[in-house]
């Protein structure tokens, strides 16, 4: 599932069904950096997503060095395309800052592509570390070390197949723990919840919004630092 999953469920770009003419393609795009720790080394990769007000046929993005990245259709949303890095696509260096230009084409016949630009800065966050987990009163409590300058955190839980089953609401940047149980909201698929005796992966996402992003900042991410643990 694409990174920044927590925001994609909240973005709504809709066209009026009563309009006699098809709506003009309109898109929102974002480029940001993800950081993980592999074998004790901090690694970086670009991530991208676009969302439109109609079904997307294709989407790509060109970085400041003119390298082109193809985005992939989201499995659950025909209006969303994204690029999520695989573990082997992370590198030792921070990606290039500058303007990233997105080109999006809808499935509407005869409609030309739309371009959108998003700027990536060089601001980053420290690695986020999960300190401990504990079951208390049938709830899982996850504790982590506060990351300086993080605007918010999100916790997500994946099963052994890597499928997302739980995602938390946004957690304030000065918080260092989150507790949840099977009766809480946030389970990604209401019929699938954690079961005793099975192993799951916990991710804590420490998120930095773009500088100056005060209105709907969750649509303008600069950096996500990800810490993981099996439970």
pLDDT per residue of the chain (231 residues) written in tens, 0 to 9: 333 444 444 444 444 445 567 889 999 999 999 999 998 999 999 999 999 999 999 999 999 999 999 999 998 889 999 999 998 999 999 999 999 999 999 999 999 999 999 999 999 999 999 999 999 998 999 999 999 999 999 999 999 998 899 999 999 999 999 999 999 999 987 778 898 899 999 999 999 999 877 667 788 999 999 999 999
Instruction: From residue 65, give the alpha-carbon distance in Å to each of 30, 50, 146, 220.
Output: 17, 20, 34, 22
Going by their DSSP bridges, the two strands 72-73 and 98-106 should be labelled as unpaired
The Cα 205–Cα 228 span in angstroms is: 9
CB of 8 closer than 8 Å to CB of 47:
no
Contacts of 101 (CB under 8 A, 6+ apart): 61, 62, 115, 116, 117
Give me the phi and psi of 228, to 5 degrees please: -130, 155
- Tokens representing 139 are 């709830």
| Per-residue model confidence (pLDDT) at position 196 | 87
What is the residue whose two structure tokens read 């989407």? 59
The Cα 198–Cα 213 span in angstroms is: 40
Instruction: From residue 73, give the alpha-carbon distance in Å to each of 110, 129, 167, 210.
Output: 21, 31, 21, 25
- Tokens representing 180 are 């949840």
| Per-residue model confidence (pLDDT) at position 217 | 79
* DSSP code of residue 122: S
Q: Kindly report the pTM of this predicted structure.
A: 0.88
* DSSP code of residue 60: E
The Cα 202–Cα 11 span in angstroms is: 24
| Per-residue model confidence (pLDDT) at position 12 | 43
Rounded CA Rg of the chain: 18
Instruction: From residue 96, give the alpha-carbon distance in Å to each of 22, 44, 47, 64.
Output: 38, 11, 12, 7
% helix, strand, coil for the chain, step of 5: 5, 45, 50
């Amino acid at each position: 599932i694409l990174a920044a999953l927590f925001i994609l469920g909240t973005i709504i770009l809709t066209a009026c069904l009563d309009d006699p003419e098809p709506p003009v393609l309109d898109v929102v795009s974002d480029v940001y950096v993800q950081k993980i720790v592999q074998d004790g080394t901090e690694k970086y990769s670009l991530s991208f997503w676009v969302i439109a007000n109609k079904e997307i046929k294709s989407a790509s993005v060109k970085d400041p060095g003119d390298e082109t990245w193809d985005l992939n259709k989201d499995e659950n949303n025909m209006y969303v395309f994204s690029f999520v890095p695989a573990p082997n696509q992370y590198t030792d260096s921070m990606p290039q800052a500058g303007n990233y230009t997105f080109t999006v084409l809808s499935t509407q016949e005869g409609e030309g592509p739309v371009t959108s630009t998003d700027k990536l800065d060089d601001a980053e966050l420290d690695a986020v570390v999960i300190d401990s987990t504990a079951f208390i009163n049938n709830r899982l409590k996850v504790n982590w070390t506060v990351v300086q300058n993080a605007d918010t955190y999100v916790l997500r839980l994946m099963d052994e197949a890597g499928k997302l089953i739980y995602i938390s609401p946004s957690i304030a940047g000065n918080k260092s723990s989150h507790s949840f149980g099977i009766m809480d909201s946030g389970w990604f698929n209401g019929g699938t919840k954690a079961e005793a005796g099975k192993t799951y992966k916990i991710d804590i996402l420490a998120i930095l919004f773009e500088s100056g992003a005060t209105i709907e900042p969750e649509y303008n991410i600069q950096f996500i630092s990800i810490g993981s643990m099996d439970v």
